[in-house]
């Protein structure tokens, strides 16, 4: 079992959610996050005073899936979230030791 974390542009929230639902991926957790990578901040002005905003709002998706589904899901995320400009985001994959479904008490791949 693997955990896939994807940080994508905030405006890609709906697009990515729809693409995952279309591929029958139902379980996900979505956070609002702030951060930076290669994309630097931008300038805002309050009453003429310059502010440098160098952490940028993004959206983070977290999914748990079976090992064999990782590549497929990563491809879906990339296709939905890519714009080609700096700031598209990043995906990483981690191993998961155990997954339990709370309602039934199931362990392992069937709980995913």
Partner 1 sequence: MSADNVHATKGERMYDTGSTTFMLICTMLVFLMTPGLAFFYGGLSRRKNVINTMLMCFGVIGLVGVLWIVAGWSLAYGGDGSNPFIGGFDQLLCLPVLNQVLQAAEGTATDGAVYPEIINIAFQMAFAMITAAIVTGSLAGRVKFGAMTAFLGIWLLVVYAPLAHMVWGGDGSFIGDIIGALDFAGGDVVHISSGLTGLILCLMLGRRRGFGMVSYRPHNVPFVALGAGLLWFGWFGFNGGSEFKADAVAALAILNTVTASAAGMVSWLAIERVRTGRPTLVGASTGLVAGLVVVTPGAGFVEPWAALVMGLIVSPVCYFAISHLKTKFGYDDALDAFGCHGIGGILGGVLTGLFCVPELSWTGKGGLFYTGDVSLLVSQILGIVVTVVIVLVLDLVIAAVVKALFHGSLRVDEADEALGLDASQHGESAYPSFSGLD
Interface with partner 1 (CB under 8 A), residue from 24, 26, 38, 52: 52
Look at the alpha carbons of 68, 73, 74, 79 in this order and tell me if their dihedral is positive or negative.
positive
Q: Is 62 in the site for partner 1 (CB under 8 A)?
A: no
State which residue, 40 or 82, has the beta carbon closest to partner 1.
Answer: 40
Q: Measured from the CB atom, is 32 or 110 closer to partner 1?
A: 32
Alpha carbon distance 3, 66 (integer Å): 9
Q: Binding partner 1 by CB under 8 A: which of 24, 26, 48, 103?
A: 48
Cα(102)–Cα(111) distance, integer angstroms:
9
Structure tokens at 62: 């977290």
3-class secondary structure, 104: coil
Torsion, Cα of 26, 31, 34, 35 (10° steps): -40
Q: Using the rule CB under 8 A, which residue among 11, 30, 32, 62 binds partner 1?
A: 32
Please identify which residue in 10, 18, 34, 62 interacts with partner 1, judged by CB under 8 A.
Answer: 34
**Binding region for partner 1 (CB under 8 A):** 32, 34, 44-53, 55
């Amino acid at each position: 079992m693997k955990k896939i974390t994807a940080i994508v542009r905030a405006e890609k929230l709906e697009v990515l959610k729809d693409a995952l639902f279309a591929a029958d991926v139902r379980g996900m957790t979505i956070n609002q996050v702030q951060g930076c990578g290669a994309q630097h901040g931008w300038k805002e002005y309050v009453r003429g005073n310059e502010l440098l905003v160098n952490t940028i709002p993004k959206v983070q998706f977290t999914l748990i899936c079976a090992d064999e589904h990782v590549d497929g899901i990563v491809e879906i995320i990339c296709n939905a979230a890519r714009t080609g400009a700096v700031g598209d985001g990043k995906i990483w994959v981690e191993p998961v030791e155990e997954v339990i479904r709370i309602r039934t008490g199931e362990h392992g791949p069937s709980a995913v």
